[in-house]
Amino acid sequence: MDPAQRIARELLETADIAVNGDKPWDLQVRDERFFSRVLAGGSLALGETYMDGWWDCDALDELVKRILSQDLQEKIRPSLQVLVLWLRSTLVNLQSRGRAYNIGRRHYDLGNDLYRLMLDKGMNYSCGYWKHAKNLDDAQTDKLELICRKIGLEKGMRVLDIGCGWGGFARHAAERHGATVVGITVSKEQAELARGLCAGLPVEIRLQDYRDLAESFDRIVSIGMIEHVGVKNYRRYMEIASRCLGPEGLFLLHTIGSNVSGRVPDAWSDRYIFPDSMLPSMRQLSAAAEGLFKMEDMHSFGHYYDPTLVAWNRNFTEGWPRIAERYGERFFRMWRFYLLSSAGSFRARHNQLWQLVLSPRKSTRVYESIRD
């Protein structure tokens, strides 16, 4: 047994993971080069070797959960690619105005056919709220209704949705609560489909960067968008939200969160899934909001992202034959790794999901937390 294989096996055993074992989360190695490549390349190499078919696993989500729970990723030396990414993230504003539409082109414009088969019937691409729900559609509807209740949405209010996706929240707020909604996105495919799905409602969908906003709204929501803003821009993002929110308004920020204040994205995700994106920490968000907003409520329910991602993976896998010819086998493995490794990350509580309710610094309102 070569040294790389011996070291990898010993690390995996600390998380009760065997090579070519019979447990669902055991690694089934198809190519012996896997061991040296992953020890040299960390998470980037782990994802790439899966895409290359060098290994398989029946319970990929549980495998990743065990790796993260034991911090095995911290015991592998950073690769050259990770160091280069660190330098780029430190020296360059990867989420600058000039790069604002990059994430739209490379992720959200992949194809509406992909997202239609994967997501719920309302096309919501963020964590569902499973407190009472039994299926994905209900979990997403409950999430949207929870947001509307948290911001005290009333008929006739003008609402801004920063990062509106395919218009799921905008439709819900307009149809069920009589709100007028302006949604912005940097994805051409999202904007086109959202306009069709919201036709006939008081909803305006714009292809627009958040930095170009200069209007007043009664309420603001941002659901799963600040993950693309970047640490260098958090303060500017909060300043724009503050500028656009009325003096007694409310701003609900729904975001995946990191337990630590980082400045570098995950190398594999940055290359293949979410370019120029990173997860904010609570410290980074509170520092960006300080002096602009008061924190009225913080609701953490990252454990609900696990069943959301598992449901997306099930829909994606079952619907794959309808789009396989267009996307190809390597994409299938890449997308499956993305969905199930993300589920494992939330299962390990390595990532969090927060809903923050913020009010303007000078607001005199009294706010009471809502969970149902």
- The model's pLDDT over 288-307, given as tens digits with 9 standing for 90+, comes to 999 999 999 999 999 999 99
pTM above 0.75, yes or no: yes
Q: At residue 123, what are phi and psi to the nearest 5 degrees? A: 60, 55
Token pair for 333:
């493995």
Adjacent-strand bridge partners of 184: 162, 206
Give the CATH H-level superfamily of domain 103-360. Vaccinia Virus protein VP39 (3.40.50.150)
* Helices marked H in the chain: 3-13, 34-51, 60-69, 80-91, 102-103, 112-118, 136-150, 168-177, 188-197, 234-244, 267-272, 282-289, 305-319, 324-327, 329-347
Adjacent-strand bridge partners of 296: none
pLDDT category at 83 given cuts 50, 70, 90 is very low
Tell me: the pLDDT tens digits for 184-231? 999 999 999 999 999 999 999 999 999 999 999 999 999 999 999 999
Task: Classify residue 112 as exposed, middle or buried by CB count within 10 Å of its CB (0-12, 13-18, 19+).
Answer: middle
Contact (CB, 8 A) for 310 and 137: no
| Span(s) in the chain for CATH 3.40.50.150 | 103-360
Q: How far apart are CA 282 and CA 304, in angstroms?
A: 19
Contact (CB, 8 A) for 354 and 283: no
Tell me: the pLDDT tens digits for 26-58? 999 999 999 988 888 888 999 999 999 999 999
Token pair for 58:
């029946």
